[in-house]
Amino acid sequence: MNRYWSKQLDRLDPYTPGEQPQDQQYIKLNTNENPYPPSLAVSNVIRDFEIAQLRRYPDPESAELIAALASYHNLDNPQVFVGNGSDEVLAHAFQAFFRQDDPILFPDISYSFYPVYCKLYEIDYRLPALGEDFCINLLDYASTNGGIIIPNPNAPTGIALSIGAIRELLADNPESVVIIDEAYVDYGAETACQLIAEFPNLLVVQTFSKSRSLAGLRLGCAFAQEPLIEALQRVKNSFNSYPINSLTSAIALASIADEDYFQQCRRQVIESREALSTDLRQLGFEVFPSSSNFVFTRHPERNAEMLYRELKAAGILVRYFKKKRIDNCLRITIGTETECEALVNALQSIL
Amino acid sequence: MNRYWSKQLDRLDPYTPGEQPQDQQYIKLNTNENPYPPSLAVSNVIRDFEIAQLRRYPDPESAELIAALASYHNLDNPQVFVGNGSDEVLAHAFQAFFRQDDPILFPDISYSFYPVYCKLYEIDYRLPALGEDFCINLLDYASTNGGIIIPNPNAPTGIALSIGAIRELLADNPESVVIIDEAYVDYGAETACQLIAEFPNLLVVQTFSKSRSLAGLRLGCAFAQEPLIEALQRVKNSFNSYPINSLTSAIALASIADEDYFQQCRRQVIESREALSTDLRQLGFEVFPSSSNFVFTRHPERNAEMLYRELKAAGILVRYFKKKRIDNCLRITIGTETECEALVNALQSIL
């Protein structure tokens, strides 16, 4: 603690992102990036971008991008919010909705940024435990709370809730904002966007980082009825008027327009996930049912941290969490077919 | 106030950026953008950018960009911070340093985002009044405070403090963080970066939006001794691990490398500012001495809001602030020579 720091700073517990080695070529299956490049339409947009335009501030409202997202999801423009990655969108949402008298709820095994936001904004939280099968028990969320956030599919387990379960969660908690964090939704879960008209307490958060192959671009979005979006706008306009840069908007518009390519990449990742899951099971791994672009897995006889280290030595990065209950699991991002084969071969050698 | 909002949300008073009309061609002299395009090196970087790279997250540490900025300013890498525009850098700095028991201080006429941040982070502030000549009186900052922030040159006045005055401010306030917001420093003020080795309480904030013609890119930076930068990192890593996208880093590196073009644009704007100031004085305007890329001016016989409206009708946007003490002033961004001439001609017709 430095004498110049705000008092609260000492209590922060900053997030640790997955390794992003800048100096070595790994087969990188550790941060849930898409193995396929962005749409060719993105290349064209960048090539044709009028550089002189960069001297201007971007549209602070990102109106064109918001209109495209609204149209894509059959929503109205005032039901859409965009931010500098879904991490920024989530940060604003925690500040906008979760500073309540009662603690908020999220699963004990979930996206590890949530408790970090809670410390940043001084929000109390409780952590209902997932079952032994890593499934969410809805009854745990039926108590008084200041809000709920659940990734669907959950991370790092990859397990999805049905849209019926989410509807039940929303109906059971009419006084709380319920955030459904859909970073991985395009790989096998159903989006809760279809429930927005029905539930004023629902906020859906999505990202361009995974299924749109644009993690390097930093673009996230949120969908909800207008009063919740207005809250996010109030925070955003008290923080940074222009979070989305001009190139980002242009690239995102091109990505949204190329639906065929989006569907093709999505399907390919799902196919590879199923093939990899089969291969891992044949190697003796337990593989949890994944609706995302990664698998969560453990070996009954092998220590996960050791496997992580041996894979790294073999040039393959996967994600290992040194955290109670999951410290014997690995989260493995779905790569190209070649990358998945290399992983299976490396594991075969190690085992 | 919606029942789902955090209680604090009602008290926010979001910032209103200058108009960014998306649909009509104005001569845009209202948001202090650079009249010249970014360096040609930026075009080359964008043209050669490997699109497939966008599927990866950017380096969360922005190490290459930070090293280039450190080298440019003769600082060490751990003395540099980058963010998604200097507005984000400032927001993090308010949270990291200014949540103190005593109120912070900034001039009553200054960047209008500062009180917005204070409301967002629940920070008390006092507003020492500028003199009648819109100059800062250092004696006003000699009292107990929780921190100080001053733009140098000040906005929207354009008036700069000498480096000697800033040194005095820092020496008088050894227990407070003093932020010098240098958004406009390249147009005639001296950077306080040269004082960083001497003062552990100094944070210097800069932006790529003005002198580097990259407002559309959203990149800001901060310079200080390591403990202050560490504080910003703690906040950033509790908010968004990857604020700087891959294209932004590549473009910024290209801009930093083209020093000749940077100096050339800078000089051209300064020349045009001096010429415009002379022209405005000949039209009867009072023009405050500017060290920035805009002039702050008023006419003894003409209402500023009316002038703003008549200029807008003539296709020229300038900035008018409906705010006590300055509601009879206009802030006019320096355009190209042609744009400045068009402004002078329009004013001639109006007067």
Say if residue A245 is in the same domain as residue A272.
no
Residue B130, in any domain of the structure: yes
The torsion angles phi and psi of B131, rounded to 5 degrees, stand at -65, 175
**CB pairs below 8 Å between A and B: how many?**
273
Residue with tokens 């080795």: B197
pLDDT at site A19:
77
Closest CA to B90 of B109, B117, B112, B110: B117
Residue A299, in any domain of the structure: yes
Q: Which residues of A touch B239 (CB under 8 A)?
A: 87-88, 91, 117, 120
Say if residue A309 is in the same domain as residue A200.
no
Boundary residue ending a domain (A234, A258, A282)? A258
Boundary residue ending a domain (B258, B289, B310)? B258
Q: Which residues of B touch A235 (CB under 8 A)?
A: 9, 12, 120
Looking at the complex, report in whole angstroms how far the Cα of residue A270 sits from the nearest Cα belonging to chain B: 17
User: Are residues B60 and A91, on separate chains, in Cβ contact within 8 Å?
Assistant: no
Q: How many structural domains comprise chain B? A: 2
A316-320, strands of its sheet edge to edge: A27-29, A316-320, A330-333, A294-298, A286-287
Say if residue B108 is in the same domain as residue B241.
yes
Boundary residue ending a domain (A230, A258, A286)? A258
B residues 100..159 contacting A (CB < 8 A) = 100, 116-117, 119-120
Q: Which residues of A touch B82 (CB under 8 A)?
A: none
- How far is it, in rounded angstroms, from Cα A220 to Cα A214? 10
Say if residue B124 is in the same domain as residue B188.
yes
The pLDDT tens digits of the residues spanning A294-325 come to: 999 999 999 999 999 999 999 999 999 999 99
Closest CA to B153 of B206, B198, B225: B206
Low-confidence ranges of chain A (pLDDT < 70): 22-24
Looking at the complex, report in whole angstroms how far the Cα of residue A314 sits from the nearest Cα belonging to chain B: 21
A residues 45..84 contacting B (CB < 8 A) = 46-47, 49, 51-60, 63-64, 84
Say if residue B233 is in the same domain as residue B333.
no
- How far is it, in rounded angstroms, from Cα A196 to Cα A283? 43
Say if residue A24 is in the same domain as residue A121.
no
SS3 state of residue B148: strand
User: Are residues B245 and A117, on separate chains, in Cβ contact within 8 Å?
Assistant: no
Compute how many other C-beta atoms are within 10 angstroms of the C-beta atom of residue B61. 18
- Integer Rg of chain B from CA: 20
User: Are residues B216 and A57, on separate chains, in Cβ contact within 8 Å?
Assistant: yes
Amino acid at residue number A171: A
pLDDT at site A18:
76
SS3 state of residue B71: helix
CB proximity list for A157: less than 8 A, separation 6 or greater: A109, A130, A134, A288, A296
Residue with tokens 């720091």: A5
Closest CA to A273 of A348, A163, A184: A184
List the beta bridge partners of residue B221.
B82, B206
**Helix axis angle, B63-72 to B246-257, nearest 10°:** 20
Residue A189, in any domain of the structure: yes
Residue with tokens 């001439």: B341
- How far is it, in rounded angstroms, from Cα A191 to Cα A193? 5
pLDDT at site A21:
78
B residues 174..193 contacting A (CB < 8 A) = 175-177
Say if residue A201 is in the same domain as residue A53.
yes
Instruction: Return the HEC string of chain A.
Output: CCCCCCHHHHHCCCCCCCCCCCCCCCEEECCCCCCCCCCHHHHHHHHHCCHHHHHCCCCCCCHHHHHHHHHHCCCCHHHEEEECCHHHHHHHHHHHHCCCCCCEECCCCCCCCHHHHHHHCCCCEECCCCCCCCCCCHHHHCCCCCCEEEECCCCCCCCCCCHHHHHHHHHHCCCCCEEEECCCHHHCCCCHHHHCCCCCCEEEEEECCCCCCCCCCCCEEEEECHHHHHHHHHHHCCCCCCCCCHHHHHHHHHHHHCHHHHHHHHHHHHHHHHHHHHHHHHCCCEECCCCCCEEEEEECCECHHHHHHHHHHCCEEEEECCCCCCCCCEEEECCCHHHHHHHHHHHHHHC
Residue A2, in any domain of the structure: no
Compute how many other C-beta atoms are within 10 angstroms of the C-beta atom of residue A167. 17
Say if residue A105 is in the same domain as residue A250.
yes
Q: Which residue of B has its CA nearest to A250?
A: B216
Say if residue A21 is in the same domain as residue A48.
no
Residue A1, in any domain of the structure: no
Looking at the complex, report in whole angstroms how far the Cα of residue A9 sits from the nearest Cα belonging to chain B: 6
Q: What is the CATH number of the domain that holds A339?
A: 3.90.1150.10
Contact A240, A24 (CB under 8 A): no
Report pTM: 0.96
User: Are residues B54 and A177, on separate chains, in Cβ contact within 8 Å?
Assistant: no
Residue numbers of the domain that contains A232:
42-258
B residues 211..270 contacting A (CB < 8 A) = 213-218, 227-228, 230-231, 233-235, 237-248, 251
> What does the angle CA B182 – CA B164 – CA B291 come to, to the nearest 5 degrees?
40
Compute how many other C-beta atoms are within 10 angstroms of the C-beta atom of residue B144. 11
Residue B3, in any domain of the structure: no
Say if residue A236 is in the same domain as residue A287.
no
Say if residue A245 is in the same domain as residue A282.
no
- How far is it, in rounded angstroms, from Cα A53 to Cα B217? 10
List the beta bridge partners of residue A333.
A294
**Alpha carbons within 13 A on the beta-carbon side of A34:** 31
pLDDT at site B239:
98
Residue B322, in any domain of the structure: yes
Say yes or no: A3 contacts chain B, CB-CB below 8 A.
Answer: yes
CB nearest to B5's CB, from A176, A213, A231 = A231
Q: What share of chain B is helix, strand, coil (3-state, %, to 5)?
A: 40, 15, 45
Q: Which residues of A touch B227 (CB under 8 A)?
A: 2, 4-5
User: Are residues B4 and A58, on separate chains, in Cβ contact within 8 Å?
Assistant: no
Contact B236, B101 (CB under 8 A): no
Q: What is the CATH number of the domain that holds B51?
A: 3.40.640.10
Best mutation target among B3, B6, B111 (most A Cβ atoms within 10 Å) is B6
Amino acid at residue number B185: V
User: Are residues A216 and B55, on separate chains, in Cβ contact within 8 Å?
Assistant: yes
Residue B101, in any domain of the structure: yes
Compute how many other C-beta atoms are within 10 angstroms of the C-beta atom of residue B214. 28
DSSP state of B215: T
The torsion angles phi and psi of A333, rounded to 5 degrees, stand at -70, 140
User: Are residues B245 and A14, on separate chains, in Cβ contact within 8 Å?
Assistant: no
List the beta bridge partners of residue A298.
A286
Say if residue B167 is in the same domain as residue B244.
yes
SS3 state of residue B145: coil
Q: How do the pLDDT tens digits run along chain B, 351 residues long?
A: 789 999 989 899 999 887 777 666 899 999 999 999 999 999 999 989 999 999 999 999 999 999 999 999 999 999 999 999 999 999 999 999 999 999 999 999 999 999 999 999 999 999 999 999 999 999 999 999 999 999 999 999 999 999 999 999 999 999 999 999 999 999 999 999 999 999 999 999 999 999 999 999 999 999 999 999 999 999 999 999 999 999 999 999 999 999 999 999 999 999 999 999 999 999 999 999 999 999 999 999 999 999 999 999 999 999 999 999 999 999 999 999 999 999 999 999 999
User: Are residues B235 and A46, on separate chains, in Cβ contact within 8 Å?
Assistant: no
